[in-house]
Amino acid sequence: MKNVMKEKLRAGACQVGAWLQSSSATNAEVMASCGFDWLVVDMEHGTANVEQSAAVFAVAERHGLTPLVRLPSADPFLARRLLDAGALGVLVPVVEDVDEFAEFLSHCVYPPKGQRGVGLVRANLWGETFEDYLATFEPVIVPMIETRKGVAAAGALAALDGVDGIFLGPYDLSASLGGAGNFDMSVFKEAVETVRAACEKNGKVIGIHQVEPDPVALQERKDQGFGMIAYGTDLIAIRHAFVDFKNNLK
């Protein structure tokens, strides 16, 4: 089973994704029909559980998007369940230690490379594609750097086999650096360049969440060399569409 997104990231093709903060498969389908490359279920700041995530993965598959999940933490056993449910990759928040992350990563790949448990599950159609999935599946693995300590670990994380790139959480990172939401701080820009250099040195992609659904800002992110970009969220996009109504109330 080829992981198309993993191949495209390796080839340097920019991949723009939809971010599901609700647990709604309907919201997911709306976004999936809009031309994104991937769709991630946010289990850190969102409301979805494993069963709801599996329904969203099916929606993504129907529309040809790569289904991913942002875990609430580096929980290897939750990661196993979500991969079994059909996730083709994971984003892991607040990664700061390379040894701890290497241990987590080992739970996402099968023996002999790792220690993921083998079962007849949705990901292999309950055994129908078992042999192919077992032999060929490689998940997209992306640690998120969201703290000063994570920036310091960027080089070691980018060098890990199996890591496809490093994804910046701009709000958490800016908060860790002393100015939540202030992306113009020199210390924030320096942190971004540190992570970028680590990714370039190791041939890995650098990613970021463009939280405001602003197409001009999205193009700027592409021009800046980000190769994995999350664009807005379902709930922020809904609010963005209606905010003028609130602002114009008398």
Closest CA to 55 of 6, 22, 92, 93: 22
Report the pLDDT averaged over residues 150-177. Answer: 97
Q: The domain spanning residue 227 has which CATH number? A: 3.20.20.60
Number of domains in the chain: 1
Contact by Cβ (8 Å): 104, 82? no
DSSP 181: T
pTM for this entry: 0.95
Q: What is the pLDDT of residue 250?
A: 58
Q: Are strands 205-210 and 15-20 parallel, antiparallel or unpaired?
A: unpaired
Q: What is the mean pLDDT of the chain?
A: 96
Residue 107 and residue 78: Cα distance in Å, rounded?
A: 10
Summarised one tens digit per residue, pLDDT across range 19-30 is 999 999 999 999
Report the pLDDT averaged over residues 60-76. Answer: 98
Which candidate in 45, 63, 209, 240 is catalytic? 45
Is 107 known to be catalytic?
A: no
- Domain containing 24 equals 4-247
Closest CA to 86 of 57, 117, 51: 57
Q: What is the pLDDT of residue 1?
A: 73
Q: Which two structure tokens, joined as six digits, stand for 207?
A: 């990613």
Summarised one tens digit per residue, pLDDT across range 105-117 is 999 999 999 999 9
